[in-house]
Amino acid sequence: MLSTLTALLLILPLLAAGGIALGPARTSKWIATIASLAVFAVALAFSWGFPGWTDGSIAPSDLGLSVMPSLGINLTLGADSVGVMLILLTAFLMPLAVIGSFTAVVDRQKEYYAWFMLLEAAMIGVFLARDAIVFYTAYEFTLVPMFFLIAIYGGAERRPASIKFFLYTFLGSVLTLAGVIYIAAQHALAHDGAWTFDLAALATFASSELSNTQQYWVFVLLMIGFAVKVPFFPVHTWLPLAHDQAPTAGSVILAGTLLKLGTYGVYRIALPTAPVGGVELDQFIAVLCIIGIVHAALICWVQTDAKKLVAYSSVSHLGFCMLGLFALNSVGATGSVLYMINHGLSTGALFLCIGMIYERYHTKDMAQLGGLFKVMPVWSFFMVFFTLASLGLPGLNGFIGEFLCLLGCFSAEPNSVAGYPGLLGPWYALVAGSGLVLAAMYLLIMLGKLVWGPLKEPHHDAHATTQSGSSLPADLSPREIGILVPLALVCLAIGVYPKPMMEAIAPSVEKTLAAYPKLVDRYVQDGSLVAPRVDMGQGVARAQPVGSE
Amino acid sequence: MLDPASIQPAVVSIPAAIPSPEFAWAGLILLLPVLAAVLSTICGARGVKGKLPGAITSIALIASFVTTLMLFLRLPDDAPRTVHLFDWVAFAWSGTAPNTSFLAPFALYVDSLTLLWMLFVTGLGSLISIYATEYMEADVGKGYARFFASVAFFLFAMGALVMGGNLIVLYLGWEGVGLASYLLIGYFYTKPSAVAAAKKAFIMNRIGDLGLALGGFLIWTNYGTVEYDALFKAISSGAAPAANASAWGAWAIPYCLMLGAFGKSAQIPLFVWLPDAMEGPTPVSALIHAATMVTAGVYLIARMFPLFSLDPNALLVVACVGCLTAFVAATIGMAQYDIKRVMAYSTVSQLGYMFLGLGVGTTFGAVYHVFTHAFFKALLFLCCGAIMHGMAGQLDLRKLSGVRTVKGFGIISWTFFIGCLCLAGFPFTAGFFSKDTIIAQAFASGNPTFAWLGWVALFTAFLTAYYTFRVWFRVCAGPQKYEAGDEVHSHDDGAHDAHGHDDHGQAHGHAHGHAHGHAHGHAHSHAAAHAHSHDWHPHGPRWAINGVLLVICIGALLAAVPSYNGELQHKPNWVETMVAHSSAASGIPSHEHAAHGHEAGAAAHHALSFTGIEDVHTATSVVASAVGVLGICVALWFHLLNRTAADKLRAALLSNGLTRWLPLLLENKWYVDEIYHAVFRLPSWFLGHVLHFLDKQLIDGLLVNGGARVPVELGRLFQPLYNGALQGYAATMAGGIALIAAWVFWIWMHGG
């Protein structure tokens, strides 16, 4: 049963893409809507029957199809609790993004919706992959639909934006692939030519049999690709451009799910596979997180374009997410996973809100818009609501993830009581915490310009019309309200009762971080796990494996 | 520096809380306002044209008050009670260290401190809500529902803050009241000044919130819990916090919490948002920015007093900050012309007294002052609001005089007078008793630093009496003379006018001082008053406003009753008993001695010995009375009997190069806003632009795009015939993959 549902999760969107491509253009949005809703229903059924909520195990564990036996490549599918949550997030956002495109996209609808369905299949494929090659294939395949969505349906600078998006993330993930192949090759060398790409097997092998220096470099390779996707300072510059140019629904999916592929990759692959690298680079990465948080927040402050502001805020927010992960303790990593989901919800919703404005006024420039509460009270309500969710107001979804990320970072000290020892501490949390103040600042500046203040509308748009020529009401239409209400309800529900999610995430986190406490202790004692070579990059002396044998 | 030996942290035992599921109905105190908020929002969305939202909210808040009262009457006084409502942030993991879970259930912690706070919060909340049903009636069908939804939400958040059983629920309430405050300050959303003030309030509070969050983190890392009950148990068991658990020791906890308290309660350095918060409708100023929300910082420290009492130096900092804030805010209050702003600075100043009280160790004095202040300051604000309401938005005390004799303003003027007496600390009023408790403790503590603070507090009491009666003598007494404010037009236009004013004020105001802005305001008001003089008359309030004023006035008078008991019968008054039975009483250094000061120490020399009175309390009362009456007399002279003298004095000070700074400093609010702008806002804003430039030009432009050009150029080198974009990218990929392959090979060779 579970296997069938798993297969359906992948096959349904692919079938829908085919159906859209073959059917007439006027049916494509309806096929996409029905299919994405069906996928959501399947995802719900899947999570209902999912047995791994309490123990962090992967299910289904028996679904596999051997693709290249000689190289050990298998089409194995399954997810643990974190993966299931991200699948649910994807399947939840997709119908909203599709329905949100009804009036925004009128030309070349067939391709548009077909690409969306392919994108959904690819993203779910990433979260379902148990094999590194499957993972990588799906991971890379997400680029193609997104590339076309930006390049065809984007703004004025869509060409450079889409190309930069594609190349940047592609090149990054090539490095990740190199890392994976390196591990697999080492595995084959160590085991008489027995190749495997099973993620769990690779992780077990790499973390126990590779030398510390090997692990270190493997971690670097894996991290680069994921870091670009996150996007992590300083490899984040593709994101503002891509968001700025992408169509609204593209931005929703980009922020909502695609970025999570990066953090999920770090969580699922980089951290458990090469724990030595994770420990060795922990403080370095945390510092980059913090720089990213503050850097992007200050940039948000001076944005004049609402969409770019939200795009940069993603860079800042995902800094929190990564910081929580690299606290290397239960509190921080649980917070980080919660953050992935909550950021997807609230930022996705913000992009939808801004898209609704763009459809009406054909601008996102905050200098030309203002005081929209007067003409769009319903829209303003949602805008304020999701902004508050985004700035982490307790009682809404953003708070718990953010709070736990910071708490994890704060308590991640060598002799911490937070369940695991860690390498960060209060000073990291203090500086990162300034991001909370800055977030309030830039988000409220955005509200102060768009929602409050004297009414300001662009002159040439007395009667807002869509590209299709059909006019939208001044305030939100029932369709638009119907998109935002579920999002708001979910944000509220998670904010009020996050306990089931936290309890489901915690066991998975424990498995991911199982190797860390000992390594951190050793790192604290010795000052480094791969000294002296990596330290400051001095000398070329061979590193001594420090006891991972 | 304070000698730690001078305050001995008493080892305290706080009775363990009793889990009491039978009191789950106390959750109604929080639930009812939420329901009212939701219903009011629905009314707003459905476009209900009527006072329904006001009625719903008032009824819900009254019900919430009644529930609180029932809880107060039913709850046995033996021990604090905890009520577990539902699990909120709670999860566990398997680990080795002591902490294997994070538990922050949505639970209530009810002791007498909680109840005291909730009684006046819900009580004043209901009264002010009734007042607002009339006050806001011009907005029926427009912002009326939004207003009441926000007020109801505020009551929920405040309730969560006060009743929450752990620091995380407190944090929920803490940020929740900040949100309510944001929404209500920005209520007149078309006014840029209101929007800016709302934003400023939220951001300044967020700085404090960060302190509170860090304090919570530190408590968790040190004590392994954020729940009050477990925390107090850990403290009173005398067990040291988990030794060297953190780079920041347990010593940092009170300082972090302090930052949170100073943000919410508008103390130096985070006080500048509160005066600006007066942009909100006046009932909001009365409820949120005078009586309840701004006392949350006092609540936090009182609740966490067992922690603070471990560290005398932290308490010293609290006392100094409080005292300094009291003084600075009072001096600014003397020089403001907007009566609501005077009251706002007065609130900041009175909050300073409360922190002084906490710092010198009389949590009773601090909490009692919160209690009395809630009544008389709410009363004062509501009176200001009623005058403003009747005078079409006029708030300038130079343009109002003798309002007392205008028809319909009698009740306002005389309740206003009683509020002023309380604030000025006139003998035997509530404010007099509570303020004296604080000042007396400063002198009685036997600590020379505290005695100095006591002197400053006494001088501030003089300033307080002066600025309070400056307002009353100007506005209510004297010959009848008034000008309409700028709301003589329809309401919306009024808001737009105000916006115009503020633009001018901001554009020209700061550099050239007030003169310019006011000149403009004058001209405008005259024109407006002239144009509409035939159809504008001041209108007195009806029953909702008058009735509420009378009730709160009686409350302000009755707030002194506990002290009559205490002073005349030498019994602890019931507020003191309530504080003594809560966590706030714990660890107060030799509290019993100091508060009743008859046995030890007090008979010896104290700073007020020159009065010839041995008992330090009596001596303080006498001196403070004298000081208060003197302040009132000075105000009487300058602002009723000889009003030109005040202007002459100001002109004389301004014309003298040596004294010029004084009025300028006070009228420009010590230039604190300007300093913040120059020191924090401008540099960060500039940095934002620099980073944005670097992000685009350096990181993206030079490194990313430049890096991408390298393989493209290489590709061109090798394939001069094909220089289309696609080939370039293909070459990029090929080059990249080649490089990576080389790198991996290299690692393989060297790393293995």
Position B581, amino acid: H
Please give the pLDDT value at position B750. Answer: 60
Closest C-alpha among A187, A83, A196 to residue A133? A196
B352 pLDDT higher than 80: yes
Contacts of B171 in chain A (CB under 8 A): 394
B540 pLDDT higher than 90: no
Count of alpha carbons within 13 angstroms of residue B175, beta-carbon side: 25
Say if residues B436 and B360 touch (Cβ distance below 8 Å). Answer: no
Please give the pLDDT value at position B736. Answer: 65
> Which residues, other chains included, contact B308 with Cβ-Cβ below 8 Å and sequence gap of 6+?
B254, B257, B301, B314, B315, B318, B358
Closest C-alpha among A260, A242, A249, A383 to residue A308? A242
Kindly identify which residue of chain A lies nearest to residue B174, measuring between CA atoms. A394
Please give the pLDDT value at position B398. Answer: 84
Please give the pLDDT value at position A46. Answer: 93
Mean pLDDT, rounded, for B441-448? 83
Mean pLDDT, rounded, for B574-596? 63
- Full DSSP string of B305-333: HHHHTT-HHHHHHHHHHHHHHHHHHHHHH
A343 pLDDT higher than 70: yes
Per-residue pLDDT of B293-341, as tens digits, reads 999 999 999 999 888 888 888 999 999 999 999 999 999 998 888 999 9
Most B CBs within 10 Å, among A452, A455, A511, to test the B interface: A452
Mean pLDDT, rounded, for B673-696? 84
How far is the alpha carbon of B205 from chain A, nearest alpha carbon, in Å? 9
Using the beta-carbon criterion (under 8 Å), do A330 and B203 form an inter-chain contact? no
Using the beta-carbon criterion (under 8 Å), do B700 and A237 form an inter-chain contact? yes
B76 pLDDT higher than 70: yes
* Residues linked to residue A471 through DSSP beta bridges, in sequence order: A465
Using the beta-carbon criterion (under 8 Å), do B190 and A451 form an inter-chain contact? no
A518 pLDDT higher than 50: yes
Mean pLDDT, rounded, for A215-233? 90
Please give the pLDDT value at position A445. Answer: 92
B216 pLDDT higher than 60: yes
> Which residues, other chains included, contact B716 with Cβ-Cβ below 8 Å and sequence gap of 6+?
B723, B728
What is the Cα–Cα distance from A43 to A112, expressed in whole angstroms?
A: 23
What is the Cα–Cα distance from A425 to A276, expressed in whole angstroms?
A: 20
Using the beta-carbon criterion (under 8 Å), do A211 and B224 form an inter-chain contact? no
Please give the pLDDT value at position B98. Answer: 57
What is the Cα–Cα distance from B400 to B472, expressed in whole angstroms?
A: 10
Say if residues A290 and A376 touch (Cβ distance below 8 Å). Answer: no
Position B127, amino acid: L
B259 pLDDT higher than 70: yes
What is the Cα–Cα distance from A327 to A408, expressed in whole angstroms?
A: 6
B21 pLDDT higher than 70: yes
Please count the other Cβ atoms lying within 10 Å of the Cβ belonging to residue A69. Answer: 9
> Which residues, other chains included, contact B720 with Cβ-Cβ below 8 Å and sequence gap of 6+?
none
Position A297 confidence tier, pLDDT thresholds 50, 70, 90: very high
Please give the pLDDT value at position A269. Answer: 92
pLDDT winner (highest mean) among B93-107, B530-544, B687-701: B687-701
Q: Where are the domains of chain A?
A: 281-518
Most A CBs within 10 Å, among B142, B182, B206, to test the A interface: B206
Position B95 confidence tier, pLDDT thresholds 50, 70, 90: low
Q: Crossing angle, helix A478-496 and helix A81-99, to 10 degrees?
A: 160
Cβ–Cβ contact A537 with B under 8 A = no
A467 pLDDT higher than 70: no
> Two tokens at B95?
């680990």
B11 pLDDT higher than 70: no
Q: What share of chain A has pLDDT > 90, as a percent?
A: 52
Q: Collapsing DSSP states into helix, strand and coil, what is residue B627?
A: helix
Position B97 confidence tier, pLDDT thresholds 50, 70, 90: low
Helices (H), A302-369: 306-325, 330-361
Between A417 and B673, residue with greater pLDDT = B673
Which of A470-479, B477-486, B511-520 is predicted least confidently? B511-520
Cβ–Cβ contact A394 with B under 8 A = yes
A536 pLDDT higher than 50: no
CA-based max dimension of chain B = 106
Q: Collapsing DSSP states into helix, strand and coil, what is residue A107?
A: coil
How far is the alpha carbon of B95 from chain A, nearest alpha carbon, in Å? 5
Do the strands B400-401 and B101-110 form a parallel or antiparallel pair, or are they unpaired?
unpaired
Cβ–Cβ contact A429 with B under 8 A = yes
B505 pLDDT higher than 50: no
Cβ–Cβ contact A190 with B under 8 A = no
Buried b vs exposed e over B523-554: b needs ≥16 C-beta within 10 Å? Answer: eebeebbeeeeeebebebbeebbbbbbebbbe
> Which residues, other chains included, contact A373 with Cβ-Cβ below 8 Å and sequence gap of 6+?
A380, A451, A452, B189
Please give the pLDDT value at position B135. Answer: 87
Of B100, B496, B689, the CB nearest to A419: B100
Position B132, amino acid: A
Please give the pLDDT value at position A219. Answer: 93
CA–CA–CA angle B229, B235, B236 (5° rounding): 90
Mean pLDDT, rounded, for A283-306? 91
Do the strands A66-68 and A73-74 form a parallel or antiparallel pair, or are they unpaired?
antiparallel
Tell the burial category of B700 from Cβ atoms under 10 Å away from its Cβ (0-12, 13-18, 19+).
buried
Is the alpha carbon torsion for B160, B161, B163, B169 positive or negative? positive
Say if residues B136 and B65 touch (Cβ distance below 8 Å). Answer: no
Say if residues B440 and B615 touch (Cβ distance below 8 Å). Answer: no
Please give the pLDDT value at position A123. Answer: 94
How far is the alpha carbon of B452 from chain A, nearest alpha carbon, in Å? 35
Contacts of A302 in chain B (CB under 8 A): 685, 688-689, 692
Per-residue pLDDT of B688-724, as tens digits, reads 888 888 888 788 777 777 777 777 777 666 654 444 5
Using the beta-carbon criterion (under 8 Å), do A417 and B242 form an inter-chain contact? yes
What is the Cα–Cα distance from B259 to B153, expressed in whole angstroms?
A: 25
Please give the pLDDT value at position B715. Answer: 67
Using the beta-carbon criterion (under 8 Å), do B751 and A214 form an inter-chain contact? yes
Interface of A with B in 106-145 (CB under 8 A): none
The DSSP element (H or E) to which A69 belongs, if any, is none
Contacts of A400 in chain B (CB under 8 A): 89
Mean pLDDT, rounded, for A298-305? 90
Between B695 and B734, residue with greater pLDDT = B695
How far is the alpha carbon of A506 from chain B, nearest alpha carbon, in Å? 6
Using the beta-carbon criterion (under 8 Å), do A371 and B214 form an inter-chain contact? no
Kindly identify which residue of chain A lies nearest to residue B185, measuring between CA atoms. A452
What is the Cα–Cα distance from B125 to B112, expressed in whole angstroms?
A: 19
Which of A5-14, B62-71, B418-427, B678-687 is predicted least confidently? B678-687
Please give the pLDDT value at position B512. Answer: 36
Say if residues B508 and B539 touch (Cβ distance below 8 Å). Answer: no
Position B642 confidence tier, pLDDT thresholds 50, 70, 90: confident
Position B566 confidence tier, pLDDT thresholds 50, 70, 90: low
Using the beta-carbon criterion (under 8 Å), do A178 and B202 form an inter-chain contact? no
Which of A253-267, B420-434, B641-655 is predicted least confidently? B641-655
Closest C-alpha among B184, B161, B192, B211 to residue B37? B184
Cβ–Cβ contact A520 with B under 8 A = no
Position A373, amino acid: F
> Two tokens at B182?
């944001």
Which of A162-176, B156-170, B700-714 is predicted least confidently? B700-714
How far is the alpha carbon of A210 from chain B, nearest alpha carbon, in Å? 9
B749 pLDDT higher than 70: no
What is the Cα–Cα distance from B464 to B479, expressed in whole angstroms?
A: 24
Between B727 and B119, residue with greater pLDDT = B119
Using the beta-carbon criterion (under 8 Å), do A302 and B692 form an inter-chain contact? yes
Q: What share of chain A has pLDDT > 70, as a percent?
A: 93
The DSSP element (H or E) to which A417 belongs, if any, is none
Please give the pLDDT value at position A420. Answer: 67
Per-chain mean pLDDT for chain B: 81
Please give the pLDDT value at position A32. Answer: 93
Say if residues A422 and A328 touch (Cβ distance below 8 Å). Answer: yes
Of B98, B247, B736, the CB nearest to A413: B247
Q: Collapsing DSSP states into helix, strand and coil, what is residue B537?
A: coil
Closest C-alpha among B272, B434, B270 to residue B356? B434
Please give the pLDDT value at position B706. Answer: 76
- Full DSSP string of B58-92: HHHHHHHHHHHHHHHHHS-SSS-EEEEEEEEEEEE
Using the beta-carbon criterion (under 8 Å), do A182 and B99 form an inter-chain contact? no
B431 pLDDT higher than 50: yes
Cβ–Cβ contact A171 with B under 8 A = yes
Contacts of B180 in chain A (CB under 8 A): none
CA–CA–CA angle A417, A423, A425 (5° rounding): 65
Mean pLDDT, rounded, for B223-237? 85
Of A374, A434, A448, the CB nearest to B199: A448
Using the beta-carbon criterion (under 8 Å), do A436 and B209 form an inter-chain contact? yes
Interface of A with B in 78-107 (CB under 8 A): none
Which of the 8 DSSP states describes residue A77?
Answer: B
What is the Cα–Cα distance from B67 to B61, expressed in whole angstroms?
A: 10
Contacts of B175 in chain A (CB under 8 A): 393-394
Per-chain mean pLDDT for chain A: 87
Say if residues A218 and A246 touch (Cβ distance below 8 Å). Answer: no
CA–CA–CA angle B62, B67, B73 (5° rounding): 125
> Two tokens at B503?
């633009």
B81 pLDDT higher than 60: yes
The DSSP element (H or E) to which A73 belongs, if any, is strand A73-74
Position B240 confidence tier, pLDDT thresholds 50, 70, 90: low
> Which residues, other chains included, contact B204 with Cβ-Cβ below 8 Å and sequence gap of 6+?
B263, B270, B272, B273
What is the Cα–Cα distance from B20 to B18, expressed in whole angstroms?
A: 6
Contacts of A170 in chain B (CB under 8 A): 733
Upstream peptide bond of B269 is cis (omega within 30 degrees of 0): yes
Using the beta-carbon criterion (under 8 Å), do A417 and B99 form an inter-chain contact? yes
CA distance readout (Å), B292 to B119, B287, B430, B547: 11, 6, 17, 21
Most B CBs within 10 Å, among A162, A171, A320, A413, to test the B interface: A171
